[in-house]
Amino acid sequence: MERMPVTGMVRTYSADRLVTDSAAAATALACGIKTNNGRIGTAPDGTPWISILEKANAKGFRTGLVATSSISHATPAGFAAHVESRDMQVEIAAQLLERRVGILFGGGRKFWVPTPRGERKDNRNLIEEALGAGYQVVLNREQLSRLSDGPVVGLFADDRMTTFAPEPMLDEMTRVAIGLLSKKGDWFAPKPRFFVMIEGSQIDWAAHANATDNTIRQTLLFDLAVKEALEFAERDKTTLVIVTADHETGGLLIKADKREPVAEW
């Protein structure tokens, strides 16, 4: 990501707190408004606001969301859902499908299927609904590698992903997602223009835990996904790549100790 030529600043503090959470921050990034912590795609008074992903859909773009959390977690949800609480992942999963997001890759399978296998108490099986709506559904790395067309729902874990094999890595999901979204075809849009949000979700949790090694590992895994996006953009010549965080966690400092870098929290 340090190859990128322009550096900017984004302010994602929420409407009710100086320190934001991922829900309000994702809503700021996706919808351009300040909202209260915990809210997804809605103003503090509950008014839903259209997101950049929904705007892209309306303009005839294909769209995608990729994450190593559950795909219904706060950050991906902020781009395609409108609920009062980030904890409403059962409702968020249904809205992701209703919004016709063409590529959905991540964890969170339990929010798509009814009890006792999953978390849904409305007896809806969103996997079956996705298949009925023309989606392919893939559940592992091998199935992901065989994809040749969209739309696709990829659910690679019951909740958050492990970010270890045999699951697909974030750069693999990124490469497949961009490849499908940019491929000529008849699904969801006549021209292969697209918007996709790709999140290295677990940098956040590693930093919350002050886990230095895992914070570095998760950042490097994300950086490999950035590489995939930048290499596509260099070939394509018309794609904008933005790399940002929704917020910081943990208070990581890098200090010099006898000229060697030392991480402190």
The neighbouring-strand residues paired with 83 are 40
Token pair belonging to 64 = 């995608």
Which residues contact residue 25 at a Cβ distance below 8 angstroms, ignoring those fewer than 6 apart? Answer: 12, 14, 75, 78, 246, 247
Spatial contact of 185 and 149, defined as CB atoms under 8 Å apart: yes
Residue 189: the pLDDT is 86
Residue 94: the pLDDT is 98
Token pair belonging to 111 = 């929010």
Residue 51: the pLDDT is 98
pLDDT digits 0-9 by tens, 92-124: 999 999 999 999 999 999 999 999 999 999 999
Residue 222: the pLDDT is 98
pLDDT digits 0-9 by tens, 7-44: 999 888 999 999 999 999 999 999 999 999 999 999 99
Name the pTM for this structure. Answer: 0.96
DSSP notation for 217-264: HHHHHHHHHHHHHHHHHHHHSS-------S---S--EEEEETTEEEEE
For the chain, residues with pLDDT lower than 70 are none
Which residues are marked as active site?
22
Residue 30: the pLDDT is 97
Measured distance CA(16)–CA(37) in Å, rounded: 7
Q: Which residues of 41-57 are buried (b: 16+ CB within 10 A; e: fewer)?
A: bbbeeeeeeebbbbebb
Token pair belonging to 127 = 């996997």
